[in-house]
Chain A
Amino acid sequence: MGFFTRLRVLVVKELRDLARDRKVFYAAILLPALIFPMLLALTGRLTPTELDSNLVLRIGVIGHGPAIDEIVLEAPWANWAAGGDEERIRSGELDAAILADYSGKRLTNLRVIYDKSSPTSALAAERLGVVIERVRDRARRRALDASLVDAAALPPREVVYHDLAAWVRGDAPKSPQFLPSMIMLMMLAAAAFAAIDLFPGERERGTLETLLVQPIRAEEALLGKYVAVFLIGYVAVLANIAGIALASTFEASPIEIPLTLPCILGAAVITLPASALVAAILVRVVARAKSVREAQHYLLPLTLFNMIPALLAAAPELRFDAFTACLPMAGPALALRELALAKADLLSLLMMGVTTFLYCALVLQGALKYLANEESLLGEDSGEGKSARVLGVALFAILATYVCGPFLQDAPLPLKVLVPLGLFTCLPALWLGKSIGLGLDLRMFGRRTRARSWIVALSTGIGLALLVSGVAALQRRVIAPPAAFDEASLALLTSLPSLPLALLILAVAPAIAEELLYRRFVLHGLRSDFDRTRAIVFSAALFAMHHLSVFRLLPSFLAGVVLGRLVLRTHRFWLAPVAHATSNATMILLAHPDSPLAGGLIARAFGADELALGRMLLGAAILVVTPWIFERRPLWTPGRVASQLD
């Protein structure tokens, strides 16, 4: 029996097995097919005319003549106003406007301006359309009956509807922006159900080993499962496209894509390599999990990692060209968007297809290599998925903080700082702690607390402030931040009325919240799967990402490394928030207008660009020497000794 025959036997069995699992049916067919029609129904976009029939709509009018008078008389539901510029419609002052263009006495055309994104404006345009058609019909009949050629009584030659809604104004309509990420999400969800069922699910049910004692190679068994996962993901994509096509036929649908047969077929072809890549990533990641529960922990970071590039398609500034076509997951998402806009060029599409299949082959090869190890295949070497949970929670905290920013833009400063810290740092931290089995008990204070521990914490804070300020100043010479960045930083500091309040909100609160998440739980969660160095580096990278600015990445990363090392070296978690708060407080004390140190010699030395290297070296020296003096242990311990201390 040849390779392909065995593969076909395996794939048919896997698909038959999966098809009988209701969860896979819901995820691969029902949900993708119905999600768009359901969303439309839920948001009421299907029935915009069901707004209150007695609703009085405000209509602006520009131009005057018999036809307009007739329209006004025919529309008792309208409250008419003179004028009707676009701004008044956008601001909601008017629901719609009619612009009459006269050529002499003859009404040549009529423009109806409205905003489809507003339900009342869409209703106004619809009602106006009915009235205008009625008036046009009547005028035509009159002209025929009387053979009267009174130009003023003739109907308009043309009626133009001008929609002001944002998604049709630019060259990137709203629908193509969100559709690719939605399709990717559906694909990921369905394929994830299949992958979890076929790897950890089979391990739990004890059926994987049965397959491995058959006369097939382990690679064939893996490929059979991979193809099944890919097909399930692809079926979900096709069902989703069918659902979108169905939803686009509804009246008042917000989907502005011309869903012709070539467009649908094009989408089906573009999503083929994307489905192959998603399936390969899922197989590689989920194959690590020993249990279904552990695999579920991998899904949040996996979804975020896949969705972030897919969401890039929502940025109209990002063009689909030969370069962006090669970005994993972002390439197919952009290709889908461009296909909807009928702008995709063949070369970029080819690049996308070839590179996506290449990524897929690489990931699949990694999965084969990993599963070639029998312990991996049988799931005997897997961890408990703590790292995946840690990653998922940290990425959620970062994204949530990022998304929350614009909503709090006009909020008072204490709220602007404390709400994200409380909601998206402390709460995820506590959830993560519970999830990975770490509590907030007295053990977090480590061994016996001594006065010299306080000295180490305070000196680490001061050293850190010097190091970070030096590195930030040196970084400015390479990448200078825009003036707005500096202004925002200064405004943040000076907008608080008093120094103690500034210290509390900008130094102590972030230190406690961020250290709780990144040093107490993320770092310790990562330690279950990684050695000390990697755990510190990964936690510091996540900590740097949390600062949401490219100009803060490097200084925050270094701070994360120093604080992570401090916690793992001393086994005292509380030193990290103390050091972090000290570092923040040092900078506030030197810059806040109420501070006695502001404007002094130290403050000037701290801000001087020419002393950047000196500050960095001094900070590094303090960080190395102080622990050595007070703890009798250098901060940077050689690996073997460090592992004994850990």
Chain B
Amino acid sequence: MTQDYDGSTALDATLDAVSSEAKRRPAIDGLDSFSVMAIGLTKIFQRGERDEGLVAVQDVSFACSKGEVFGLLGPNGAGKTTTLRMLSTVLRPTIGTARVAGSDVRRAPQHVRASIGFLSGNTRLYPRLSVRETLEFFGRLHGFDGSELEGRVQHVIQALDMHDYADRRLEKLSTGMAQKANIGRTLLHDPPVLILDEPTSGLDVLGAAAMIDFVAEMRERGKTVIFSTHILSEAERLCDRIGILNNGRLHAVGSLDELRHRTGEDYLDQIFMSLVREAQG
């Protein structure tokens, strides 16, 4: 496990506490068979040199295999977004690391970014560009050019049924249309891993339903999908396995049946509350 970190001496006490706990965690065998592996991910935010730091995520480890939909479930502020931001290399873990599609988030962040499609409330599109210009721009950043780029852009526009507004500026589109364009952006380079942070947040009923269908379709196409949500019904319907995150810690990981068995509860909301109480008590 990677134990290096970028911090100053003021962080030492916090880091010592976090690291000693991480050392007690048993090793995970057979890591290479997984598409995504988080290994002791910890993120400490520090404001200024004298700040001892805020532990946003602590020692989060899980693994997802190819074609699996993994849900990170937790209330607001649980650390879901920070975990996904570390997996997508937007944030660098303070301790721990993750492997995504065979590349380490610390050592080869560019390779990781080339292999993922990341969608969150903070990844919006340029309002003054049209859908087509946006897709072409991101396609070029992924190294496509000429007829290949044109073909991919056209394919995404067709697949998501965006013909009617492909040449309109995004600022003139509805939220649902813009979200479709954003999904198109994540799919353009056909990534093996999709990381979706509360993808239905801010969407109306129809938009949210379309997003759920999209995740289901991605699973059928063999893609690994990690998505976070605080809406239990979404997780119940889509996820092969669920991780329960609260106060920056991953309290349980397993399929819905495994979690039912462990807690003795039938419904996900009851399971969730039971696991949170167990962790607190």
Q: Are B140 and A9 in contact (CB under 8 A)?
A: yes
Contact of A209 among B90, B126, B129 (CB under 8 A): B90
A220 to B: closest C-beta gap in Å: 9
Q: Are B91 and A374 in contact (CB under 8 A)?
A: yes
Q: Are A213 and B142 in contact (CB under 8 A)?
A: no
Residue of B nearest to A214 (CB): B141
Contact flags (1/0) for A380-407 with B, using CB distance below 8 Å?
Answer: 1100000000000000000000000000
- Is B162 interfacial (CB 8 A cutoff)? no
Question: Complex formed: what's the CA distance from A209 to B90 in Å?
Answer: 7
B56 to A: closest C-beta gap in Å: 11
A388 to B: closest C-beta gap in Å: 18
Contact flags (1/0) for B105-129 with A, using CB distance below 8 Å?
Answer: 0000011011010101111111111
Q: Are A216 and B110 in contact (CB under 8 A)?
A: yes
Tell whether A375 pairs with B45 under 8 Å between CB atoms, given A1-B143, A16-B129, A210-B185. yes
Residue of A nearest to B144 (CB): A1
Q: Are B124 and A205 in contact (CB under 8 A)?
A: yes
B189 to A: closest C-beta gap in Å: 9
Chain B residues lying within 8 Å of A375, measured Cβ to Cβ, are 45
Contact flags (1/0) for B65-95 with A, using CB distance below 8 Å?
Answer: 0000000000000000000000011111000
Question: Complex formed: what's the CA distance from A9 to B133 in Å?
Answer: 12
Q: Are A217 and B123 in contact (CB under 8 A)?
A: no
Number of A residues whose C-beta is below 8 Å from B? 25
B54 to A: closest C-beta gap in Å: 11
Residue of A nearest to B120 (CB): A209
- Most chain B CB neighbours (cut-off 10 Å) among A17, A205, A209: A209
- Is B137 interfacial (CB 8 A cutoff)? yes
A8 to B: closest C-beta gap in Å: 9
Residue of A nearest to B46 (CB): A375
- Is B25 interfacial (CB 8 A cutoff)? no
Question: Complex formed: what's the CA distance from A207 to B45 in Å?
Answer: 22
Q: Are A214 and B126 in contact (CB under 8 A)?
A: no
Q: Are B114 and A215 in contact (CB under 8 A)?
A: yes
Question: Complex formed: what's the CA distance from A215 to B128 in Å?
Answer: 22
Q: Are B123 and A210 in contact (CB under 8 A)?
A: yes
Contact of A9 among B91, B118, B137 (CB under 8 A): B137
Tell whether A215 pairs with B142 under 8 Å between CB atoms, given A9-B137, A16-B129, A205-B127. yes
Contact of A213 among B45, B89, B124 (CB under 8 A): B89
- Is A378 interfacial (CB 8 A cutoff)? yes
Chain B residues lying within 8 Å of A206, measured Cβ to Cβ, are 121-124
Question: Complex formed: what's the CA distance from A396 to B111 in Å?
Answer: 50
Question: Complex formed: what's the CA distance from A347 to B273 in Å?
Answer: 76
A384 to B: closest C-beta gap in Å: 13
Q: Are B110 and A215 in contact (CB under 8 A)?
A: yes
- Is A106 interfacial (CB 8 A cutoff)? no
Question: Complex formed: what's the CA distance from A375 to B50 in Å?
Answer: 16
Tell whether A16 pairs with B133 under 8 Å between CB atoms, given A205-B124, A206-B124. yes
Tell whether A9 pairs with B141 under 8 Å between CB atoms, given A214-B113, A216-B110. yes
Q: Are A17 and B129 in contact (CB under 8 A)?
A: yes
Tell whether A207 pairs with B124 under 8 Å between CB atoms, given A17-B129, A213-B118, A217-B110. yes
- Is A169 interfacial (CB 8 A cutoff)? no
Residue of B nearest to A203 (CB): B122
CB within 8 Å of B: which of A1-55?
A: 1, 6, 9-10, 13, 16-17, 20-21
- Is B237 interfacial (CB 8 A cutoff)? no
- Is B47 interfacial (CB 8 A cutoff)? yes
Question: Complex formed: what's the CA distance from A217 to B89 in Å?
Answer: 11
- Is A440 interfacial (CB 8 A cutoff)? no
- Is A212 interfacial (CB 8 A cutoff)? yes
Chain B residues lying within 8 Å of A16, measured Cβ to Cβ, are 129, 133
- Is B34 interfacial (CB 8 A cutoff)? no
Q: Are B116 and A213 in contact (CB under 8 A)?
A: yes
Chain A residues lying within 8 Å of B110, measured Cβ to Cβ, are 215-217
Q: B-contacting residues of A (Cβ < 8 Å)?
A: 1, 6, 9-10, 13, 16-17, 20-21, 205-207, 209-210, 212-217, 374-375, 378, 380-381
Q: Name the 3 nearest CB pairs between A and B, nearest first.
A: A206-B124, A215-B114, A210-B123
Q: 26 A–B contact pairs at CB < 8 A?
A: A6-B141, A10-B141, A13-B126, A13-B129, A13-B137, A17-B129, A20-B169, A205-B124, A205-B127, A206-B121, A207-B123, A207-B125, A209-B123, A210-B185, A212-B90, A213-B88, A213-B89, A213-B90, A213-B118, A214-B113, A215-B110, A215-B141, A216-B113, A217-B110, A374-B92, A381-B47
